[in-house]
Amino acid sequence: MPAETLTNQVILVAGGTGGVGEEIVRFLLGAGATVAVPSRSDANLQRLRDYCADAGPGQLHTLQQEMNTPDGADNVRAWLRERTGGRLDAVVAALNGRFYGKPFHTLAWAEWQDFLANYLTAHFLTARTFLPLLEKQGGGRYLMINGGAADAVYPGAVELSVAASAQLAMTKGMALETAGSGVQVSSLVIYSRVATRHEAATYPGQVTSQQVAEHVAALLTSSDYNPRHVVHALHLTPASSLA
Ligand SMILES: NC(=O)c1ccc[n+]([C@@H]2O[C@H](COP(=O)([O-])OP(=O)(O)OC[C@H]3O[C@@H](n4cnc5c(N)ncnc54)[C@H](OP(=O)(O)O)[C@@H]3O)[C@@H](O)[C@H]2O)c1
């Protein structure tokens, strides 16, 4: 399918206010999609709306709402139904890429709770709330954004690896469990720090948030899908590839 098929597609971007997510939102709007973004912070949503004001023909809907409680996720579903008449074509989950910068076993109780809620539960509830909608409609795309910490462990950021490997397991498992439903579940794993408008590139070949957005669009419009091979790698440029 050509990228033009994003026109008028309804796409939920969980994490759409983040460093990676906001560029995905902007790119999808430029391609004519209707994009819905929940966030815990109204200030972050205002920053996203400002950044996307000249993005292009698509429509942006925003809602201040956390996604780490069942009620919060239900609110997002109800809001989406009201905004789009219940239609949903794709979900991009670009949640949380931060780390605490200390040995894992020294995380404070509050940090551990934050980790569970926002790195794991938010992903679980996004899937639990929106995958059934896609299944009910008979198809759609569910794309999780992930990082190289899924395959490696970095001192001071062990929680990122714990979250990233769990996320990978979610992707692979949900792809198998929804096989045949018409829903395509996959992951884009980025093997580089991402240069964003907030964080300039610090080494050659560093992947940019624009490149991530282009890959996301390519995956959302690709007709090539095998539920047993759902992990796509994005490496340092120029050797970036959709594996
Ligand atoms: N940044 C990089 O260099 C990099 C590199 C490789 C891979 N990645 C991957 O890219 C993905 C996104 O990373 P990022 O750096 O863009 O993260 P980020 O800047 O920390 O953004 C996280 C996003 O998740 C949202 N979020 C977190 N918890 C939420 C909750 N409970 N309810 C609703 N929204 C919630 C945040 O929204 P609010 O704060 O507005 O609520 C924000 O939009 C991650 O999977 C990461 O592993 C990033």
What mean pLDDT is predicted for residues 39-54?
A: 98
Q: How confident is the model at residue 238 (pLDDT cuts 50, 70, 90)?
A: low
CATH numeric code, 3-234: 3.40.50.720
- Which amino acid is residue 25, in one-letter code? V
The alpha carbon of 157 and the centre of ligand 1 are apart by a number of angstroms equal to: 15
List the residue whose alpha carbon is closest to atom 29 of ligand 1.
118
**Exposure string for 137-172, b = 16+ CB within 10 A, e = fewer:** eeebbbbbbbbbbbeeeeeebbbbbbbbbebbebbb
Check whether 242 has a pLDDT greater than 60. Answer: no
Ligand 1: residue of 96, 186, 211 to mutate (most ligand atoms within 8 A of CB) is 96
Q: From CA 121, how far away is CA 10, in angstroms rounded?
A: 24
Residues 6+ positions from 6 with CB-CB distance below 8 Å? 28, 31, 32, 33, 217, 220, 221
pLDDT at res. 240: 43
Ligand 1: residue of 91, 95, 194 to mutate (most ligand atoms within 8 A of CB) is 95
pLDDT at res. 98: 87
Cβ of residue 113 lying under 6 Å from some atom of ligand 1: no
pTM above 0.75, yes or no: yes
List the residue whose alpha carbon is closest to atom 45 of ligand 1.
146
Q: How confident is the model at residue 1 (pLDDT cuts 50, 70, 90)?
A: very low
Q: For all residues of the chain together, what is the average pLDDT?
A: 94
Query: What percentage of the chain has pLDDT greater than the value 90?
Result: 91
